[in-house]
Structure 1
Amino acid sequence: MPRKQRVWYPGAVLHIANRGNRKLPIFHDEKDYMQFLQLMETARRRHPFYLHAYCLMSNHYHLLLEAIDDSPAHAMHFLNVSYAKYYNDRYMQSGHVFQGRYYSKVAPAIDYILDASKYIHLNPVEAGIIGNPADYQWSSCAAYIYHTENPHITTSTVLSYFPKPPSYHYQKFLHSDRPSKFQDLVFPVVQYNNKI
């Protein structure tokens, strides 16, 4: 039976996530995180997209990306296959690195996009790794809150929906009690014993 085709169109914003096979770690140290980000940039050069948010956790990752003229499936195929090859070579393993097909959902409206960015940036807080999401090294949150230079993302789209100063209001939004639309997400928050 053929796989269900991914939904996308030029300008579509998608929340994408994937996790390690058997929920095992896919990132062990700084080299792994940096390799993934480097491969993501190669994927973007080959199959252009805008990246609005990301968070790399020890056993999974989240991306909030906007399609331009090419299906994000091409970029994601390159990223996942290339990272799996790197991982298996580095750790002298074989077989699947990722659990399976990545999760992908088109954000139907701006409130979903804002909630997706909030969900993504709060992942390390909800997992008990860190108290302030902007202090987590492997996410895009610092670019939103501290204006830290981050070549991987563009903050202008998300911040354009907040009054001035947008970074201040985005930070308040992150800490608000606004209900999440992600109760049914395939990756429930888990507590990590190994702090990153």
Structure 2
Amino acid sequence: MPRKPRRKSRNGIYHVMLRGINRQTIFEDDNDRIRLLETIKRFKDISKFRIFCYCLMDNHIHLLLKETEEPVSKAIQRISASYVYWYNDKYERSGHLFQERFKSENVETITYFLTVLRYIHQNPVKPE
């Protein structure tokens, strides 16, 4: 059964989530995080998306971004493929790193934008 196409955001703003396959670690060290951030910056310049915030956890990533000239799926495909190619080479492994295709939620109101922004910034904070 084919998967449903993504619902397009009216304003192009999305909360994007990528998770490691089987919730595995996708950042072994800070150099891995730096590499992903460099990859995001490189493709931000190519795909022309705007990034409002991000959170890099050990086994998943959150991005709040706005597509402009290129669909969000193309930008995330570029970022994830480039990072996985580099990661697999560095750690002498092969195969998938990310679970399924990326998840995204449309962010179409200022209230929800602020909710997602807060959620992403608070994601690394552990409740006491």
Deviates more, 1:47-56 or 1:118-127: 118-127
Question: Deviating runs (4+, > 4 A) in structure 1?
Answer: none
User: Equivalent residues in 2 for 1:125-164 (5 A)?
Assistant: 125-126=125-126
The number of equivalent residue pairs is 128
Gaps spanning 5+ residues in structure 2: where?
none
Partner secondary structure for residue 80 of structure 1? helix
1:105 and 2:105 are equivalent in the alignment? yes
Contact 1:20 1:98 in 2 (8 A): yes
AA matched with 2:90: R
- State which structure, 1 or 2, has the greater radius of gyration over its C-alpha atoms: 1
Partner secondary structure for residue 119 of structure 1? helix
Partner secondary structure for residue 51 of structure 2? strand
The match for 1:20 is 20
User: Equivalent residues in 2 for 1:6-155 (5 A)?
Assistant: 6-8=6-8, 11-126=11-126
Gaps spanning 5+ residues in structure 1: where?
129-196
CA separation in 2, counterparts of 1:127 and 1:19? 21
AA matched with 1:93: R
Q: Which is strand-richer, 1 or 2?
A: 2
CA separation in 2, counterparts of 1:40 and 1:7? 23
Normalised by the length of structure 2, the TM-score is: 0.93
**Structure having greater relative contact order (Cα 8 Å, sep ≥ 6):** 2
CA separation in 2, counterparts of 1:120 and 1:67? 18
Q: CA deviation at 1:115?
A: 0.4
Contact 1:11 1:68 in 2 (8 A): no
Percent identity over paired residues:
37
Q: CA deviation at 1:68?
A: 1.2
Partner secondary structure for residue 87 of structure 2? helix
